[in-house]
Amino acid sequence: MKQKYDAVIVGSGLGGLVTATILAKEGKKVCVLEKNNQYGGNLQIFVRDKSIFDTGVHYVGGLDEGQNLHQYFSYLGIMDELELQRLDDDKFDVITFDGDDTEYKHAQGYDNFIASLSEQFPDDIPAIVAYCDKLREVCASFPLYNVNSSKDYDFDVLGLKIVDFLDSITDNELLKSVLAGSNSLYAGDLNTPLYVHALAINSYIESSYRCKNGGGQIAKLLIKQIRAHGGELYKYQDVKRFNFEDKKIVSVTTKNGDVIKGDLFVSNVDPKVTMRMLGEKGGQGMRKSYLKRIEDIESVVSSFSIYIVFKPNTFKYMNYNYYHFKDPKQIWDVENYTDEDWPRGYMLSMGTRKKQGEWGENMIGMTYMKYDDVKQWKDTFNTVKEKGERGDSYEKFKAEKTELFIKEIEKKFPDIRTCIESIHTSTPLSWRDYIACNEGAMYGYKKDADHTMKTFISPKTKVKNLFLTGQCLNMHGILGVTIAAILTSTAIVGREQLLKSIHDSLGITK
C-alpha cells in the first residue's frame, strides 16, 4: 500500500466500487478496503456443487440502450462487457396466490405491461393505465434517476403511500395485490411511500435482465476500471477503527493492525455500524441528535434463503421470477408471520448460464425472516475467512425452516423435490456477517411515508472528511445504490463537475 491516499473507501459493495470508480476517473488516488475474501458485497457469487449462485443480484432493470442504468454503466465503462440474459418480454415477473391457479404476469415495456394485465383485468384498464402513468410521473420527479442534472427533489411525492395510491385508482383488491406483488423487492409494508415502489419497479418494467453466471461480473468489471485508473483494492482488510486528529479522520486501523492514511474517507458500511466504528472521538465530531437518529432508524427485515441445485435435466428453466403469497389480503403483512404460518410468501429466481438451455441448473428461494428468529446465535460469527460454529441447534433450525419452505413451494411445483440434488441455506446471520448490515437487513433502512425525512441520510457527515454511500442512504438495489454512489461522489468532487463528466462521456448536451 501507499503511504497515503486521496480517498480511502471502506467496503467494496456496489456503492463503494462505484464511488471508487468515479473518484479514480476524476484523478484521485483511491484505495478500497474489503474485509472478506471476495469483493462486491451483495454482488458476490458463491459456488455449491459446481453451481454458481448470486448473493443479491437476482435481476437488473433499466439496461436497454438509453435507459437510466444503461447510461450509468456506460459512463462507468462496464456496460459493453456485461453478459446478460433478457427475461421473457411477456412475463419477467409472475404473481400467484394459494387457491388460485392463475399466473398474473408483469410484462416488459409499459405498453406490453398494460396490455397483458388488461387481458386479465378487462374491467380495470383505466386503473392499470393510471398506475403506469403515476410510476413514470414519480420517477421523473427524482434527480439523477434519468441522468438529469437540472432537477431537485420534488418533496411533494415523498409522503404518499403506495397503499393509498392503489386504493385511489381501484376497488379491485386482487388487482392491487397483483400490482404490488413484487413488493419483496423493497420489503414493502403499509407505510411504504409510493416513490419507493415506483423507483424499484419502473426500471424492471422498462427492461429486465439476469446476469449470466451471476452478478459478480459487475464487481469484476468495476474493479477493472478502478485499477485502470490507478486505484488499488485490498481484501482481508477488516476496518475496525477510524483514527482522529483535531476532529478529522487521518487514517483507519484494520483488524490485523494495518494503518491506512487518507485525505478523505468513504464508508460503504451500514451507517449504524459506521457510527459505532467512529469511537468516542468520532462521536465528539457528531451531534448526539444525529447519532441517535441513525441508531433509531428501523432496519428492514432480513431473509431466509434456500439455494437449490437441481439434478441434470429435471427442472425446466424459468426465464422469469416467481412471487407467491398464501393470501392476497396479506400482501403488505408478510413479514408479520407467526411460527405457525411462516412463510406467508416467497420469491423464486433461477440462475442462468452463458449458454442457457431448456433445463435449469439452480434456483434461489427467498422469504422474510426476522433477526429475532436467530438472535440466540447472535454472538457467533461465520464467514469463509472466520469459521465460527453455531452448533447443532442452529443446523436443526435451518433444516426445519428449509422443510417448511420446500413444502410451500411444492404447492405450486409438486414435483420439485424429486429434482433436487442439494439444498443450501442462509439466514439473517449470514447477511450480517458477510455484508456487515445491521441485523442482516436486506435493503438498509425502512422508508416511512409518515416520517419522510427521517430515513434520508446525506452522504456528508459532520466529520468534514467522512462520507457515506450504499443502500442505506436513499434507495437500495443496483440502480438505487449506483445513484447513491453518484450523489456521494458529487459531494466530494462537486455536482456540476461530475455531471459534466457524465454527460460528456455519454454525449449528452444541455
Question: Each residue's pLDDT tens digit in the chain (510 positions)?
Answer: 788 999 999 999 999 999 999 999 999 999 999 999 999 999 999 999 999 999 889 999 999 999 999 999 999 999 999 999 999 999 999 999 999 999 999 999 999 999 999 999 999 999 999 999 999 999 988 878 888 645 565 667 788 999 999 999 999 999 999 999 999 999 999 999 999 999 999 999 999 999 999 999 999 999 999 999 999 999 999 999 999 988 899 999 999 999 999 999 999 999 999 998 887 755 667 888 888 899 999 999 999 999 999 999 999 999 999 999 999 999 999 999 999 999 999 999 999 999 999 999 999 999 999 999 999 999 998 877 677 789 999 999 999 999 999 999 999 999 999 999 999 999 999 999 988 889 999 999 999 999 888 888 999 998 999 999 999 988 889 999 999 999 999 999 998 899 899 999 988 876
The amino acid at 165: F
- How far is residue 109's CA from residue 103's CA, in Å, rounded to a whole number? 19
H or E element in which residue 466 lies: strand 466-468
**459 within 8 A of 469, measured Cβ to Cβ:** yes
What is the CATH architecture assignment of 4-83+212-297+449-506?
Answer: 3-Layer(bba) Sandwich (3.50)
- How far is residue 445's CA from residue 476's CA, in Å, rounded to a whole number? 9
Residue 173: phi and psi, rounded to 5, are -65, -35
**438 within 8 A of 299, measured Cβ to Cβ:** yes
**What does R_g of the chain's alpha carbons equal in angstroms?**
22
**Which candidate, 111, 138, 115, places its Cα nearest to that of 202?**
138
Residue 202 corresponds to which cell in the numbers above?
A: 419502473
- Which residue ranges make up each domain of the chain? 4-83+212-297+449-506, 107-209, 301-442
Give the torsion sign (CA, 396, 402, 407, 413): negative
For residue 210, the tally of other CB atoms under 10 A from its CB is 26
Q: What is the DSSP letter of 156?
A: G
H or E element in which residue 291 lies: helix 288-296
